Structures are given as structure tokens and as C-alpha cells.
Chains A and B, each alone.
Chain A
Amino acid sequence: MGLISLLIFLPLAGAVLIALGPREKPGLLRGIALTTSVATFLLSLGLFTRFVAGEGGFQLVEMRPWVPGLGITYRVGIDGISLFLVLLSTLLSVVAMAASWSDIKVRVKEFMICLLFLETGMIGVFVALDLFLFYVFWEVMLIPMYLLIGIWGNPGRRIYAAVKFFLFTMFGSLLMLVAILVMYFYHGKTTGIYTFDLMSWYNLKLPLSMQVWLFLAFGLAFAIKVPMFPFHTWLPDAHTEAPTVGSVLLAAVLLKMGTYGFLRFNLPLFPEATVMFVPLLAGLSLVGIIYGALVAMVQVDVKRLVAFSSVSHMGFVVLGIFALNVEGMTGAMLQMLNHGFSTGALFLIVGMIYERRHTRMIADFGGLSTVMPVFATFFLIVALSSIGLPGLNGFVGEFLVLLGAFQAEPLWAVVAGLGLILAAVYMLWMFQRVMFGEVDKEENRGLKDLNLREAALLLVMVFFIIQFGVYPKPYIDRIEPSLKLVLKRVEERGAPLRPAAATAAEKPAAATAPQHFTTQHHN
């Protein structure tokens, strides 16, 4: 069994062990869960060391026949795009286990099983190179997340939120399933080989009319997951009602699956359609950026505010991807990781004050910085990272996305920049109301500052927030070659359509399109 398979199945083994363990000893169960996830994380570091930087293709590929009659294989591997997403999943799983220590007190056994299943699903989605396998992981993940929200969520509306989450995601995925089947048979009929292997599919040249429909079917599934405006309505509910750990993983990892899907499937499989749909996708992501920020501004509940800020931040990621140049896409990739850390940390922070005060209303707080100075420091760093302060992680990603967007279409950068300003407004305004000023509520006076475990958790997050901010090179070195490969696929096939798309937007194509697009104009 290869390293990647080990990563997929280790959490499952832990889950089985916990299922057999004694319910009366929650401490033991937590211990097993934490050990499993730590072991998985340590193993996943092996991916980083074994990964050959500078190569764009898939590495550490494992293959095993699964349903040979249908051309289904168990095929996993990583490239620069998935490498860090897998690491993010394994790291955040450890954080989640540790964060649930004081939060989750009932049905610990089931909770730990769900978390470990979720970890398997998350890793699986990012490493699957067989469309069938990908679909299985993509769907499998719904079950533990649904249970996490539905069982351990806020008593009020958890069931509504859980079912909504499940149905929304399922809707998109089912249409994607049909699209996968259509692709499969098209591949089979044109080449004679019936396979779900992504690598073979990459070589397929689909007619444009087909690409359009398939792009929409795949795109809808991913757009719901991201979530892009106007498919975002499940997200605030799911985030608000989920337990802290659920929100952390949802924001940090699950949302990335949508943007990952665009990069992995939509762009390289349907290059012509991608170029055609740039205005639509970029437009929706811009709307999402501004809309998410504006709605975040008026929230009275901190958690809901963070949830809407996610809509805005994920808009940046999609915008970067559909800028269709190296800068934008690298920025998008970094922003995916950044958002994982900053928003993950924000949800942890919200969870920590909720545990102390059992409220998340901004109005119930004020002046916390004098009562909880350590907490305040962490909160400030994370908030600043979220709004993209230079020196912290958010800046690098957002800057690159803006750069890429500007090259593609200056107006995009202007609108997205406005989103950045709004982000500063809602985040800092919230921070001011919660942390500064007089301590005017009696209940807030006696709040305890962070304990060691909580501080350690946030320290991990802040470490990466700073590290990404000051030295993103090791990440970019590994990410960029893979992105260039994706971009090359889009350029080769999609380029002839590019001028048409640009003139449709009434822009001089040659002036704005990046160099590599203009080279093929004679086609």
C-alpha cells in the first residue's frame, strides 16, 4: 500500500477502532482519534518531502483495478494543486480533534467516528484521479458532515441546516454524475476505451456544444460547494448551526473542494467552454465578493459574519482561477490555503468565546481585550490576516489574484479591490465592537483567558498565517508548475475563442490578454 492509500485508510482504521472501543471512556476514544489524526498528519508530511518540486504532473500515483468491467480503477496521486490541500486537510483534522476536546461532550464516540470518516473523505477527494472514485469520495463526505451539523449543531435550527446542506450539495453532484457518465461514454465511443481515468480524459477533444453542457453540469456542482453567488444560501445556515469543529472543517477544507474541482476538472477538461464562460464565472464571483462583504457588514452574529466573509473570500479564489493567467491562478491557490487558515482560525475563535459566554451576538460583547489579552492578540492577527495585511498570508494571495484579474480585465481588479476595502470595514468594525471599549456587560468581566490547549491551537494557525505571509516561495514553487500545465491545456484549445470573448466584453483583446494568449491569435 502506497503512502497516499495509507493516508486515506488510516483514519478509517481509527474509526473502526473507536467503534469497537468502550463508550464509557470518552477520554480513551478522544485519545485514539487524536493519535490517528496526528499520525495521519505526520505521514502526510511524507508527501511534501517526497514530492518533486518543479514538476507539474501527477506524482506518487497508485493504481489498482476496482471494477474492471466498467473501467473503474482505484487511482490516486497528487500534483502541486492537491499536495497542499491534502496537507491542509490532515493538519486541520488534528486541529479539529483538539478543538473538540471541551466543545463536544455528548456522544463523543459517534463524533470521533464522524470526524475520522470526514478526514478520509477529504483526503480522498483531493487525491482521486479516477472520476468514479472522485465522485464516491465527494458524496461520502456528505454523510459525516451532515451528521456533524445535525447532531452536534445548535439546538435551534441544526436539522434544517443539515438537511439543506445535504440537499444543496447533492443537487449539484447528481447532475455532475450524469455529466461524468456522458463523458465516459463519449470517451468510450471515440477511443474504444471505456475508462474513468482522468489522465485519459484530459486527452479527449470534446465538441464545443458538448463542452458547454458538461461545463455547466460540473460547474454547478462546484459552484454550489464553493459556494458562489447565487448558490450560497446553504452556507450561512450550515456554518451558523454547525458545531465549531464542523464550521472549521467546512470553511477550511470542504469549500476548497469546489474551487479545486474547477481547477482539476472544468478547466482542463472543457477548455473552450472555460474561455466562453469566463465572463459569467468572473461576473458571479465579483458579485459574490461584494455581496458577501456587504451582507457580512450588517450581521449581528459573529459566526454568521465570518460565514458571509467566506462567500466574499471564496469569490476571490474563483476570480483568480478564471483570470486564466499564472498570477491569478497561483493567487487563487494560495488564497485557498490562506482562507483555510484564517477562516478556520476565526471559527475557532468564535467557538472559544461561545464556549465562555454561550452567545455570539456582537452586542453582547465589548472590551474583551482588557479581560482576555492573549485571546485579543490572536484574534487581531487572524482578523488582520483575513483582511489581507501585508506580511500575513492573506496579502500574498489577494495581491496575486488582483494582479491576475487586472491583466485579464482591469475592471475586475477595481471591483475586487472594493471588496477588499469592505472586508477591512466589516472585520475591523466587528473587532472594535467586540474587543475594544468599555467592558459594559457584567458577565464579560470574569471571562477566563485562553488555556494552554486553546492557545496552542491558535498558535499553530498563526504560525502558518505568518509563514505564508513572509515566505510563500516553497508553496509557490510546487504549485506553479501544475497550474501552468492546466493553463497550457486551456490555452492550446481555448485560445482561438479568447478574442471573441474579449470583444464581447468590448475590450481590445491584445491589450489586456496576457502574452501567451495573443501568440495563438492567428489560429
Chain B
Amino acid sequence: MGIETGTVMLSIIGPEVVLVLAALGIMMTDLFVKSDSEQPFLMWIGFVGMLGALAVSASFWGKEAAYGFYGMVVADNFSAFFTTLFLIAGGLTLLMSSGYVRAQGIAAGEYYTLTLFATTGMVLMAQSTDLIMLFLGLEVLSVSLYVLAGMAQDSTRSAESSLKYFMLGAFSTGFLLYGIALLYGACGSTRLADIGSVLAQKQILREPMLLAGMGLLLTGFGFKIAMAPFHRWAPDVYEGAPTPITGFMSVGVKAAAFAALLRVFAGSLAALSPHWKELLWIGSVLTMTIGNVAALRQTNIKRMLAYSSIAHAGYILIGVVAGGSAGTGAVLYYLLVYTLMNIGAFAVVITIEQKGEKNLNLSAYAGIGSRHLALGAAMAVFMFSLAGIPPFSGFMGKFYIFSAAVKEGYIGLTIIAVLNSLVSVYYYLRVTVMMFMQEPESGAEEAAVFFHPALAGVLLIAIFFTVQMGLFPSSYLQFAQDSIKMFL
């Protein structure tokens, strides 16, 4: 492959370095924070760190792929795309956490530090070109999130969430590691490029060890993206975790896992695609169907969004199955779109949520649209977008995914997917029904709205992009296309 591997090239992991420095900065500053009112300062350190990392990662854009740490990490367009996505998700999460952390009495220093570490892990995953490095990135991400999920110390649900996430996460990591080991056994390397070139010789394509390794790897990733049948952890974990973290997990972890999935499967395991495409086809159908059908029955908004997030993983998998420039591009575009609209939806949930996990039930949303039109309208936009109704970005994302699938001849899969969208419309509409068409039951206290300027900022950004990416998707589609050149 002619990779220049002989140097360390610290600049390649520039974004990670900036993020870690900011995280350390927060830890140090936390020592001097005396009152609650100084907490936002910590958040802003993190936010500036995110911006700095974004600037570094942007400098990689459009250049020749550069390798560092003896070929363990790479800075290319693909990693720059995902780094941008993670930093958007992370930055918005920080903004919407600011008021929440204070209101819920969560230890701010640790919270922001871990959020930055989790983001570091994600960036590392997108940059890794070696299965070992991928694993390290995943662990940095996961361990931070295990703790973050349990940060709401007063809440037993949060503790449950943390423990569940940890147990299942550790379990799934086992699968992943075993898969890596088997792949190494079959191919003699953990370098993605080397694995690719070994497979290109086609002699070992039917090797059981290789296929088993591929299957285990798929299982490991399946857990992280909550692909059915490995999705069972998601609703409980999402429900119990602090709401901004739930939002972060639903977009960031998913995107990171998809980045890794694409690098490994669409990249080096491309020769095995008949096998894994078949598995992912089934996985995609199961994931979206189970996610959507289960979401119909939810009364807790966080659980509903958890199942919805499972369903969206199913749609994204269609893009992976379709492959090619259209399919892979669609995956990237969809992840970007999904990040902004889903974070937006979570920002609304946070606005309405009260201390002690109150107002998470759908019934608490009754009449909000008439009392707070802007908030209701924002939620309606996110819901319609998630349901895939034009002119919002969610529609464009689905359209792009479906068109890739039709292009590659997966018409059956597309029909299953559109029928799934129809099912999903019902539960997304229910939120708008509650907000605009129903009044709170008499006697029930009206849900007060928790307003915070940073939160309003998140909402504005999310709304803007959800509309703008839907109406003028061209440049974003191009961005996605430019990011995947190396798979083609």
C-alpha cells in the first residue's frame, strides 16, 4: 500500500490532543470552582476545546491521507468528516448540559471531563487504521460513558443504566476482541490495510476462522450501534442516563460505531461483502422493525426516543448494505442529519424535564404547544424530520438512503423500510398530538419549562440545520461524498 509508517507524527492526533488538554484543564479548574454559579466556566473550557479540535481536524480536510504512530492512525477526509460530526454532537451536548447539570446536582467537573474523554475516544475510532487502535478508541469512549450514564447519583435508574451499560458493554467488547483475535489469526495482521490486501488474494475467503472473526466483529459493532438482536440494552440505558448524555449516546456512539464499521467492513473486509451484507440485510430489517414497533408502545419520551434511535440505526444499515459511493455517502449524510435533529429533540426533552426525572412522560407534553409555541414548533420540526417528512433534513437523509438501496437493486429492503417509516410516523405524530391537540388533564400541574440560554442556542442551531440541510442538501451531500473517496 506504500504507507509511510515510520514516524509518530503527533500532529495526526491533534484533535485528540486538544480535547485531552481541555479535559485536563477542566479537571484543574474544577479544584478552584467554589460555587455553583462558576460551573458554566467549566463547560466553556470544554466547549472551547471542542472548537479547537474542530479547527485542527478541519486542517486535515482535503489533504492526502497522512498516517501516524507507525500506521496506527490516519488523518483523512473520512476521519475529518466524523471528527466534525463528533465535535458537533459533543459541543451541543456540552451546551445543553450546562443548566441541566446544575439543576440535577451532578458533579460538573467530572461530567464535562468525561464528555470530552468520550469524544476523544470517538475521534480515535474514526481515525484508527488498526484493529487494536480501534479497540482502544472504543474503550476510551465506552468507559467514559459507563460513568457518565451513572452520573445522576440520586437516581437509582441512573445507577441501573450505568451498570447495565457496563455489563453489556464489557460483554460486547469481549466479542469484538475475540473477533479481532480470530482475524489476526486468519490474516496475520491487525492493520486494516494488511487485512485488506491478504483478503484480496482470495485464497482464504472461505476460511472458517476468518468468517467467525468477521461474525464476532459484527456482533461487537452490533452492540454499539444497537442493531437487533443486540439492542436490548439501549432502552434501559437511554432511559436512566442523564438526558444530555442519552442524546450524546444516541448520536455520537452510533456514529462512531458506524465510522468503525465502515472502515473495517466497507474498507478492508470488502472482499467478504456477500457474507456480511446478507447478515446486515437481516439485521437492518430486524432493527428497524423492532425499533419502530416497540416505540409505538412507549409512554416515556426517553424510551420512545431510544427505540426510535434503534430504528434509525436500521435505516442507516440499509446504506451500509447498499454500499458504493451512493450507499456509503448516504450513511455519512444520514448520520450528520440524524445528529442534529436528534440532539434537537433531546434539547426539547431537557427543556421540559424537571429535577428528579419528572415530566418525562408523554402526558407531561400535553398543551405545551399552545403555551410555548416556539418550543412546540421546534419539537414538531424534529419529530416531522425524524419521521422523514419533507422539507426537513430527515426526509433528505431517508431519500438518499432509499435511493442508494434502489440503485443497488434492494427494492424489497426499500419497501420494508418505507413501511417502517409509516409505522414511525404514528409515534412521532403522537408527540405533536400531545403538544398541540391535547390539554393537560385537569388537576395535573402544568409542566413548567426550564429555560436556559445555552439550551436555546442548541435548539436554534439544531432547527436551523434541520431545515437548511433539508432544503439545500447539495453541499452536505458533496461533503459526505468527498469523505468516502478512499472506499471507492
The reply to whether A68 and B474 contact each other, CB–CB distance below 8 Å, is yes
Chain A minimum-CB-distance residue to B409? A185
The reply to whether A143 and B389 contact each other, CB–CB distance below 8 Å, is yes
The listed residue (B370, B384, B402, B426) touching A181 by CB distance below 8 A is B402
The reply to whether A163 and B390 contact each other, CB–CB distance below 8 Å, is no
The reply to whether A178 and B415 contact each other, CB–CB distance below 8 Å, is yes
- Answer whether residue B155 sits at the interface, using C-beta atoms and an 8 A cutoff: no
Smallest beta-carbon distance B429→chain A, Å: 6
Smallest beta-carbon distance B472→chain A, Å: 8
Smallest beta-carbon distance B326→chain A, Å: 9
One of A45-53, A167-175, A303-311, A384-392 at the interface: A167-175
> Which of chain B's residues have a CB closer than 8 A to the CB of A109?
373
The reply to whether B414 and A178 contact each other, CB–CB distance below 8 Å, is yes
Knowing A182-B411, A185-B406, A185-B407, the reply to whether A174 touches B421 (Cβ < 8 A) is: yes
> Which of chain A's residues have a CB closer than 8 A to the CB of B411?
178, 182
- Answer whether residue B60 sits at the interface, using C-beta atoms and an 8 A cutoff: no
One of B157-165, B286-294, B430-438 at the interface: B430-438
Separation of A67 and B399 alpha carbons in the complex (Å) = 13
- Answer whether residue B473 sits at the interface, using C-beta atoms and an 8 A cutoff: yes
The reply to whether B437 and A159 contact each other, CB–CB distance below 8 Å, is yes
Q: Which of A150, A158, A171, A181 has the largest number of chain B CB atoms within 10 A?
A: A181
> Which of chain B's residues have a CB closer than 8 A to the CB of A132?
399
The reply to whether A69 and B474 contact each other, CB–CB distance below 8 Å, is yes
Contact with A along B459-481 (1 / 0, CB 8 A): 00000000000000110011001
Separation of A269 and B434 alpha carbons in the complex (Å) = 42
The reply to whether B399 and A162 contact each other, CB–CB distance below 8 Å, is no
The reply to whether A167 and B403 contact each other, CB–CB distance below 8 Å, is no
The reply to whether A174 and B390 contact each other, CB–CB distance below 8 Å, is no
Separation of A123 and B412 alpha carbons in the complex (Å) = 33
The reply to whether A139 and B390 contact each other, CB–CB distance below 8 Å, is yes
Knowing A69-B478, A166-B429, the reply to whether A150 touches B437 (Cβ < 8 A) is: yes
Contact with A along B216-227 (1 / 0, CB 8 A): 000000000000
The reply to whether B437 and A162 contact each other, CB–CB distance below 8 Å, is yes
Contact with B along A99-117 (1 / 0, CB 8 A): 0000000010110000000
The reply to whether B436 and A177 contact each other, CB–CB distance below 8 Å, is no
The reply to whether B406 and A182 contact each other, CB–CB distance below 8 Å, is yes
- Answer whether residue A136 sits at the interface, using C-beta atoms and an 8 A cutoff: yes
The reply to whether B406 and A181 contact each other, CB–CB distance below 8 Å, is yes
- Answer whether residue B215 sits at the interface, using C-beta atoms and an 8 A cutoff: no
- Answer whether residue A151 sits at the interface, using C-beta atoms and an 8 A cutoff: yes
- Answer whether residue B422 sits at the interface, using C-beta atoms and an 8 A cutoff: yes
The reply to whether A67 and B477 contact each other, CB–CB distance below 8 Å, is yes
Chain B minimum-CB-distance residue to A158? B437
Contact with B along A414-452 (1 / 0, CB 8 A): 000000000000000000000000000000000000000
22 A-B pairs within 8 Å (CB atoms) are namely A67-B474, A67-B477, A69-B478, A69-B481, A110-B373, A132-B399, A135-B390, A136-B391, A139-B389, A140-B390, A146-B429, A150-B436, A159-B437, A159-B438, A162-B437, A167-B426, A170-B425, A174-B421, A177-B399, A178-B411, A178-B415, A184-B406
Interface residues of B (CB under 8 A from A): 370, 373, 384, 389-391, 395, 399, 402-403, 406-407, 411, 414-415, 418-419, 421-422, 425-426, 429, 432-433, 436-438, 473-474, 477-478, 481
Q: Using A66-B474, A170-B425, A171-B422 as known contacts, list a sample of 14 further A-B pairs with CB atoms less than 8 Å apart, ordered by residue number in A.
A: A70-B477, A140-B389, A140-B390, A142-B389, A159-B438, A162-B437, A167-B426, A170-B421, A174-B421, A175-B418, A178-B406, A178-B411, A181-B403, A185-B403
